[in-house]
Amino acid sequence: MDQLIQLVEATQAGVETPDIYPGDSVRIQLRVIEGEKERLQAFDGVVISDRGAGTNKTITVRKISHGVGVERIIPINSPNVESVTVLKHGKARRSKLFYLRKRTGKAALKVKERKVAEKAS
Amino acid sequence: MGAILGKKIGMTRLYNEKREAVPCTIIQAGPCFVTQVKSAGIDGYDAYQVGIGERKEAKVTKPMLGHYKKAGVAPGYMTAEFDTSMFDGELTAGSPVLVESFTEGEIVKVQGVSKGKGFAGVVKRHNFGGGQRTHGQSDRLRAPGSIGGASDPSKTFKGTKMGGRMGSDTITVRNLQVIKIMPESSLIMVKGSVPGPKNSYVRIVSTKK
């Protein structure tokens, strides 16, 4: 990518995020404005897709809420994202986990767990 | 108020204070210098000719080289004229034209040469609907249909929309908002898209109030 584009995008960096891969279970704290007040809202779910790079990176997070599948596309560098934490590392053999949409019940969000070697640092 | 030349770098998204993502085009506007001052007395009208970029002397034609030498400016890629009313104060040949003359939030218009599409059919060029795909049709999908009457008027009227060269036109896009200015690298970000391919040169002019 053009160096000048990177220069511009460098001014836009959001919160520092851990490495996120499709299959990971994440909790994302989003800033929500309700009337005058601002509060944090957590969105927990499985990352089923990611796209873009740098400022433009977005992830799609899916969860089952009261029996209804809910997906949110979250621009990871948006100022509305307060924090991103990985709850569980998933082991996925493809980059888009859209097959989860067809599943119901217990299997709906089931992704094999991935053991992550603790980094020395 | 300002007027400047710039090079289209590409697009990205920027977040505004409302935390909304705004699509932006990045334009590198500079280094720009006045290459000639046109005056009513000599040229019949008042204008500043502004040049952009830096180019090897060997790559510039000799007449242009002399033109740049006269202004005391390094040879550049292109020049364009702007009305003197677009600038604050008097400028002389050799004075820099800076992105700082624009303010963030200001409305500008951007002129550039659109991407060439080559010889395009009527569906692409004039938004014709084309023909049916089914019901026994062959070769009609992107056809223009009738181009006029028969024995009366016995001709196809001039200006009838047909296929032909498309693109490479000078296009002005108005009402673009300046989102951000980065003077240290002469960058200016405008909301939305700008005509032309990357690395093409565009004209940015403030909209008169």
ipTM of the prediction = 0.75
CATH classification of the domain holding B100: 2.40.30.10
**CA distance, residue A12 to nearest chain B CA (Å):** 7
pLDDT in tens, B90-146: 888 888 888 888 998 999 999 999 999 999 999 999 999 988 999 999 899 999 999
Asked if the Cβ–Cβ distance from A7 to B10 is below 8 Å, we say no
What are the Cα distances from residue A70, in Å, to A60, A75, A81, A90, A119?
10, 16, 18, 19, 33
Query: Mean of the pLDDT values across residues A53-76?
Result: 89
Residue A55 zone, left/alpha/beta (φ > 0; ψ -120 to 50; rest)? alpha
Domains in chain A, CATH or no CATH each: 21-99 (2.30.30.790)
Does any domain span residue B150? Answer: no
Residues 179-208 of B with CB under 8 A from A: 180, 182, 185, 187, 189, 198
Tell me if chain B has a CB within 8 Å of the CB of A4: yes
Q: How many CB atoms lie within 10 A of CB A108?
A: 16
Look at residue B146 and tell me if it is in a domain: no
Give the Cα separation of B131 and B137 in Å (integer).
8
Structure tokens at B200: 């093409």
Q: Can you tell me the distance from the alpha carbon of A11 to that of A24, in angstroms, rounded to the nearest whole number?
A: 28
Q: Count structural domains, chain B.
A: 1
Please judge whether A79 and B26 are an interchain contact, meaning their C-beta atoms are less than 8 angstroms apart. no
Residue A4 is given by DSSP the state: H
Using the predicted structure, report yes or no on whether residue A110 has a pLDDT greater than 80.
no
Kindly state the average pLDDT of the residues A32-55: 89
Instruction: Tell if the CB–CB gap between B182 and A7 is shorter than 8 Å.
Output: yes
What mean pLDDT, rounded, does chain B reach? Answer: 91
Q: Check pLDDT > 70 for residue A115.
A: no
Tell me the two tokens of residue A70: 């809910």
Q: Is residue B142 part of a domain?
A: no
Nearest chain A residue to B19, by CA: A79
Return the structure tokens found at B35.
């290459």
pLDDT at B48: 92
Q: Does A78 touch chain B (CB under 8 A)?
A: yes
Whether B139 is covered by a domain: the verdict is no
Res. A121 pLDDT band, cuts 50 70 90: very low
Q: Does residue B191 lie in a domain region?
A: yes
What gap in Å lies between CA B48 and CA B36, rounded to an integer? Answer: 6
Backbone angles phi, psi at A10, to 5 degrees: -60, -25
Tell whether B86 is covered by a domain.
Answer: yes
pLDDT digits (tens, 9 = 90+) for B174-206: 999 999 999 888 999 999 999 999 999 999 999
Name every chain B residue with its beta carbon within 8 A of the beta carbon of A7.
Answer: 182, 185, 187
Of A1-10, A44-53, A105-114, B136-145, the range with the lowest mean pLDDT is A105-114
Optimal mutation site among A5, A6, A8, interface B, most CBs of chain B within 10 A = A8
Output b/e per residue, A45-82; b: 16+ Cβ within 10 A: bbbbbbeeebbbbbbbbbbbeeeeeeeeebbbbbbbbe
Q: Is residue B194 part of a domain?
A: yes
Q: How far apart are CA B178 and CA B204, in angstroms?
A: 10
Q: Has residue B50 been placed in a domain? A: yes
Q: What is the DSSP secondary structure assignment for residue B153, as one 8-state letter?
A: B
The strand pair at B187-191 and B107-113 is best described as unpaired
Q: Is A5 on the interface with B (CB under 8 A)?
A: yes
Task: Please give the residue range of the domain that contains residue B73.
Answer: 3-126+163-206
